């Protein structure tokens, strides 16, 4: 057969190879092949001289189509445009030859830390837990400090997204920082004579160009503005300013992330400097001047001392002290009252107040009372093998994490945190009854209501209280710890 008459592989419209689909889905090519196992190809394409199978979007499994649709919707484009853009090789904003060497060193170290995990990402014998555990170990070995699993997964996803399913994981660009610094190129501005900006060039030469400080940047801005006003005498200031910005971008690119950002920053700083008397301190970073100086109005000292004293009584429990002082109406600072009323978490304490209560001492167990001392006794290991269903019933309450409103006096409403008391079988954990009450009812009444409701539903027995039938819990000094009932068999409330 004549070689010129050999049939060429079909390239139907809208067909994509496994590598193209992997780039659009942001997964590995091997994972795409596993999903397409058993799905017949709709055509073929020639990729680098080799014939590769291709599929249309309609022929893909439903989970792949849904993921492509979600990604396309999130990016505001069609599926075909998403796959086309995803298969373009990723390139950094700054070419590698113009990146500062320190960023290149970080990229090499990150490649050394992530590449072993990326190469075994789809290994069938590797579980997800083993993968991230090994990846975190590699990262700590290379960088000398640990990172969270969430950050490690973010780095893995970013590398796969940049690779686009091409399996070119050795490329250094894939591991580069999002905003690398441009290396300083010692060239003079092309639109002006180098001698005109010599004083600015001397200030830039004396600055630490690898890691410039805020004072270095302020000196460069000051010299640039003074030079601009000197050169603007007898000539167009706008043209001179454009030449100055172009010069600064080539000699001091660390002043801004882009030339346009440098232009905007130059205009803002120059207007402020010229409007307020041309003082050098106007160019200093305001964040540096305010660092370490408290700006917020402190809380009332009496409220802080009262909460601190209550926290000492509560063995250092700051959240409980803050909550109890608010509930008793002892707090007068409106900011502290608003923080408590607007929080859904009953253990919330504002960060400034928590900082002031940082060194609250805790009383010894002996000073707290006999109950606190008893809690420090050796714990006992409980055994449930001899307890059967309905032998014992456990009651416990919890406070809702949401607020709801109830009628108040004067036809108004007030927000409260409700409580729920649950009665459960100790052996099977089956919920037997529940009582929902607001936070204004007595705790003893809640316990008795739950007991009576559970007894009416599940048991026909007479209640025996720890102090006898003549001493119900609402007459006790505090809530009883053990409420026993004698059903027809054995058992009781725990």
DSSP line for 81-147: HHHHHHTSPP--SS-GGGB-HHHHHHHHHHHHHHHHHHHTTT-TT--HHHHHHHHHHHHHHHHSS--
| Percentage of the residues of the chain whose pLDDT score is greater than 90 | 4
Say whether pLDDT at 377 is over 60: yes
Cβ pair 172, 96 in contact under 8 A: yes
Which stretch of 313-317, 424-428, 477-481 has the lowest confidence by average pLDDT?
477-481
Give me the residue label for tokens 């940049």: 162
Would you call 287 helix, strand, or coil by DSSP? helix
Taking the CB of residue 21, how many other CB atoms lie within 10 A of it?
Answer: 26
Contacts of 29 (CB under 8 A, 6+ apart): 18, 19, 22, 165, 167
How far is CA 70 from its chain centroid? 23
pLDDT reported for residue 480: 38
Q: 419-425 and 43-47: which strand pairing?
A: unpaired
Please state the φ and ψ torsions of residue 407, each to the nearest 5 degrees.
Answer: -65, 140
Say whether pLDDT at 455 is over 80: no
Which stretch of 11-25, 90-104, 154-168, 358-372 has the lowest confidence by average pLDDT?
358-372
| pLDDT tens digits along 257-275 | 888 888 888 888 888 888 8
Say whether pLDDT at 235 is over 50: yes
Q: Which residue has the higher pLDDT, 86 or 54?
A: 54
Cβ pair 218, 285 in contact under 8 A: yes
pLDDT reported for residue 392: 79
Helix axes 128-143, 149-163, angle to 10 degrees: 90
Enter the CATH code of domain 9-86.
1.10.10
| Percentage of the residues of the chain whose pLDDT score is greater than 70 | 80
pLDDT reported for residue 489: 37
Label residue 428 exposed, middle or buried (CB < 10 Å: 0-12, 13-18, 19+). exposed
For 366, 375, 393, the CA distances from 372, given in Å and listed in that order, are 7, 5, 26
Cα–Cα distance for residue pair 444/59, rounded to 1 Å: 66
| pLDDT tens digits along 6-40 | 343 344 457 888 888 887 887 777 788 888 888 88
Q: Which residue has the higher pLDDT, 330 or 190?
A: 330
Cα–Cα distance for residue pair 260/274, rounded to 1 Å: 21
Cα–Cα distance for residue pair 419/440, rounded to 1 Å: 10
Structure tokens at 349: 């304490």
Longest dimension (CA), the chain: 111
Q: Delimit the domains of the chain by residue range.
A: 9-86, 96-175, 194-290, 301-365, 392-493
Cα–Cα distance for residue pair 109/267, rounded to 1 Å: 39
Cβ pair 354, 318 in contact under 8 A: yes
pLDDT reported for residue 184: 58
| pLDDT tens digits along 380-422 | 777 777 778 777 788 887 777 777 788 887 778 887 777 788 8
Cβ pair 32, 22 in contact under 8 A: yes
pLDDT reported for residue 458: 67
Nearest residue to 41 via CA among 22, 28, 60: 60
Cα–Cα distance for residue pair 395/95, rounded to 1 Å: 67
Mean pLDDT of 224-241: 80
Mean pLDDT of 164-188: 74
Contacts of 347 (CB under 8 A, 6+ apart): 319, 320, 323
Would you call 43 helix, strand, or coil by DSSP? strand
Say whether pLDDT at 477 is over 80: no
Structure tokens at 371: 């109950």
Nearest residue to 395 via CA among 303, 322, 481: 481
Cβ pair 398, 412 in contact under 8 A: no
| pLDDT tens digits along 114-136 | 988 888 877 777 777 888 888 89
Tell me the Ramachandran region of residue 482: left when phi exceeds 0, alpha when psi lies from -120 to 50, beta otherwise.
Answer: beta
Nearest residue to 454 via CA among 431, 480, 470: 431
- Provide the mean pLDDT of the chain: 76
Q: Which residue has the higher pLDDT, 95 or 325?
A: 325
Nearest residue to 418 via CA among 434, 430, 431: 434
| pLDDT tens digits along 295-350 | 778 888 889 999 988 888 887 888 899 999 998 999 999 999 888 888 777 788 98
pLDDT reported for residue 322: 92
Say whether pLDDT at 70 is over 70: yes
pLDDT reported for residue 42: 87
Cα–Cα distance for residue pair 80/217, rounded to 1 Å: 47
Taking the CB of residue 82, how many other CB atoms lie within 10 A of it?
Answer: 21
């Amino acid at each position: 057969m004549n070689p010129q008459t050999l049939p060429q592989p079909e390239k139907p419209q809208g067909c994509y190879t496994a590598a193209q689909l992997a780039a659009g889905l942001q997964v590995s090519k091997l994972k795409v092949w596993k999903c397409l196992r058993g799905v017949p190809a709709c055509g073929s394409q020639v990729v680098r001289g080799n014939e590769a199978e291709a599929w249309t979007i309609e022929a893909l499994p439903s989970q792949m189509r849904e993921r492509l649709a979600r990604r396309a919707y999130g990016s505001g484009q069609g599926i075909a445009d998403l796959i086309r853009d995803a298969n373009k090789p990723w390139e950094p904003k700054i070419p590698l030859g113009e990146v500062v060497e320190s960023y290149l060193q970080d990229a090499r170290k990150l490649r050394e830390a992530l590449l072993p995990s990326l190469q075994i990402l789809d290994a069938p014998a590797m579980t997800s837990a083993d993968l991230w555990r090994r990846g975190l170990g590699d990262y700590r070995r290379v960088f000398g400090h640990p990172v969270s699993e969430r950050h490690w997964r973010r780095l893995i996803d970013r590398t796969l997204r940049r690779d686009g399913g091409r399996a070119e994981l050795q490329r250094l660009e894939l591991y580069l920082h999002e905003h690398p610094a441009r290396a300083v190129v010692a060239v003079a501005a092309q639109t002006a004579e180098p001698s005109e900006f010599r004083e600015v060039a001397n200030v830039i030469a004396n600055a630490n160009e690898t890691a410039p400080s805020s004072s270095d940047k302020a000196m460069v801005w000051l010299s640039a503005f003074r030079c601009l006003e000197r050169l603007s005498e007898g000539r167009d200031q706008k043209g001179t300013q454009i030449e100055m910005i172009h010069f600064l971008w080539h000699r001091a690119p660390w002043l801004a992330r882009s030339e346009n950002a440098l232009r905007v920053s130059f205009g803002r700083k120059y207007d402020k400097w010229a409007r307020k008397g041309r003082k050098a301190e106007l160019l200093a970073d305001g964040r540096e001047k305010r660092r370490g100086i408290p700006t917020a109005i402190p809380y009332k000292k009496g409220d802080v001392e009262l909460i601190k004293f209550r926290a000492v009584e509560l063995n250092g429990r700051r959240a409980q002290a803050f909550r109890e002082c608010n509930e008793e109406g002892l707090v007068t600072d409106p900011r502290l009252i608003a923080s408590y009323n607007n929080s859904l978490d009953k253990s919330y304490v504002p960060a400034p107040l928590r900082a002031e209560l940082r060194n609250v001492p805790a009383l010894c167990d002996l000073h707290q009372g006999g109950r606190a001392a008893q809690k420090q006794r050796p714990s006992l290991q409980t055994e449930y093998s001899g307890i059967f269903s309905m032998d014992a019933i456990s009651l416990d309450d919890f406070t809702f994490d949401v607020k709801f409103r109830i009628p108040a006096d004067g036809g108004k409403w007030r927000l409260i945190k409700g409580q729920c008391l649950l009665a459960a079988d100790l052996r099977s954990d089956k919920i037997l009854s529940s009582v929902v009450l607001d936070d204004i009812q007595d705790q003893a009444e809640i316990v008795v209501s739950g007991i009576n409701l559970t007894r009416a539903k599940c048991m026909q027995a007479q209640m025996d209280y720890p102090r006898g039938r003549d001493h119900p819990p609402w007459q006790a000094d505090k809530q009883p710890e053990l409420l026993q009932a004698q059903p027809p068999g054995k058992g009781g409330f725990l």
